[in-house]
Amino acid sequence: MTSLVYPTTNLTQIEQLTIVRGDGIYVYDQHGQRYLEGLAALWCSALGYGNQELIEAITTQLRTLPYSHMFGGRTHQVAMELADRLSEMVPMDQARIFFANSGSEANDSQIKMLHYYFNVIGKPEKKKIITLDRSYHGVTLASAALTSLPAMHTHFDIPVEELGILRAETPHYYHGHREGESEQEFVARLLADLRVMIEQQGPDTIAAFVAEPIGGASGVVVAPDAYFPALEKLLAEYDILFWADEVICGFGRTGNDFGCNTMGIRPQMMSLAKQLSSAYIPISAALIPDFMYQAMQEPSSQVGVFGHGYTYTGHPVACAAALKAVEIYQRDRLFDHAAAVGNYMQQRLREFSDHPLVGEVRGKGLIGAIELVADKANRRSFPDGRVGAMAKQYCQDRGLLIRAVSGNCLAFCPPLIITTDQIDEMIDMFGKALDETAKYVSKEGLLAS
């Protein structure tokens, strides 16, 4: 037992798995047991472990300039280069890029920049933000307000009302549709409800709508195809910005460069982290449109500074890691690889569709989930997350690390470099673990009769 306070952990059940090293898509514990990183650690290890080019880029930067800050007019080449590279890549017009250290900080920064922008353009009432009622956007005070998962709110006094956070229904057809409702009708109803919410709140009070193109920690929720294009039109009608949280979906995860391109929506703001540096060094980015940046310039001069920034904003070593990661993604056509092996993974995951415990198999590219349910016919969930936790443990016992999220959704999100043979290995371990989970469920009498 150490002095650590562990993150996102049941604090009565700590220190159950000690990882000592990694190699490719595998990690090893202190006993030498090998595990396949079925969730790319925390949805982030795109290039796996031991990538020599990344290590070289990082060490070279460490030798040249291990740190320099970016306050008050000071700058350095590697951050400027990364910003320009990202600005060229993303599906936004002339993105302006603010660097931070985590997805939560990027999202906090977005909220602050929205406030700043609408204050300085004389629309101080336009500050509310719509988020989905099953969403994960981080855990700092402001980003946790955007997050809808109960564990991130309970006992924390998160300032949801103070920040004007509104929640719209998550576009998850499997759980959300009414008896006999088609996907098209489901989408139409959600958007009609959203329109009512916007009208009731007043469009002039709503700044942005934030969503992940494909929800990750909320259970790998994939919206019906029609949802995002229709959402884009509705938001444009009311002059509400669409802010894509691409912290998980960005950089090839969904089978395209960015999740917005997979789901058919063009964002005005984007948050990036995780695969941005393949998690070798922490870095995140908050991308805003040029018109926001232009409006912020003169007012900052009046105050003296744009009063937001971190000691480690644009940390040179993190920027060097990200630059190299992006270079590798593009040079090795890893997004195309992810699309191809992603199709294969989706196909293999769907082989479990008929299993008695499996309610829904979903996903796109190299992100997917298998949701375990108590009653397949009626799509009824288990009352708590015990079954998912057991399934996760059975996977781990066989050498596969995945996570049970949003109750009993088993999430798959392997490194982008995974091969089809390694996907077979992952599926094989999962299949055995699922059968063992079925035995557990039947022994405990948890399946609806």
The footprint of ligand PLP (CB under 6 A) covers 102-104, 107, 136-138, 212, 216-217, 245, 247-248, 273
Q: Give the orientation angle of helix 420-444 with respect to helix 334-349, to 10 degrees.
A: 30
Can you tell me whether residue 424 is helix, strand or coil? helix
According to DSSP, the β-strands at 241-245 and 269-272 are: parallel
CB nearer to ligand PLP: give 187 or 210: 210
Residue 208 phi, psi (nearest 5): -155, 160
CB nearer to ligand PLP: give 217 or 296: 217
Q: Using an 8 Å Cβ cutoff, are 15 and 39 in contact?
A: no
How near is the Cβ of 156 to ligand PLP at its closest, in Å?
15
How near is the Cβ of 310 to ligand PLP at its closest, in Å?
13
Tokens of 206: 């709503």
CB nearer to ligand PLP: give 227 or 382: 227
How near is the Cβ of 337 to ligand PLP at its closest, in Å?
22
Going by C-alpha positions, the residue among 205, 334, 210 that lies closest to residue 270 is: 210
How near is the Cβ of 395 to ligand PLP at its closest, in Å?
20
CB nearer to ligand PLP: give 198 or 367: 367
CB nearer to ligand PLP: give 61 or 140: 140
Going by C-alpha positions, the residue among 358, 308, 338 that lies closest to residue 414 is: 338
CB nearer to ligand PLP: give 186 or 258: 258
Query: In the β-sheet with 367-372, what is the strand arrangement from edge to edge?
Result: 358-364, 367-372, 409-412, 403-405
CB nearer to ligand PLP: give 70 or 411: 411
How near is the Cβ of 313 to ligand PLP at its closest, in Å?
15
Please count the CA atoms within 13 angstroms of the CA of 81 that sit on its side-chain side.
15
CB nearer to ligand PLP: give 245 or 371: 245
The CA distance from 276 to 416, in Å, is 13
How near is the Cβ of 147 to ligand PLP at its closest, in Å?
8
How near is the Cβ of 312 to ligand PLP at its closest, in Å?
13
For residue 306, give every residue at least 6 positions away whose Cβ sits within 8 Å of its Cβ, in sequence order, or none.
116, 296, 300
Q: Which residue is nearest to ligand PLP (CB)?
A: 103
The CA distance from 323 to 165, in Å, is 34
Q: Using an 8 Å Cβ cutoff, are 349 and 370 in contact?
A: yes
Task: Provide the 10 A C-beta neighbour count for residue 199.
Answer: 10
How near is the Cβ of 284 to ligand PLP at its closest, in Å?
6
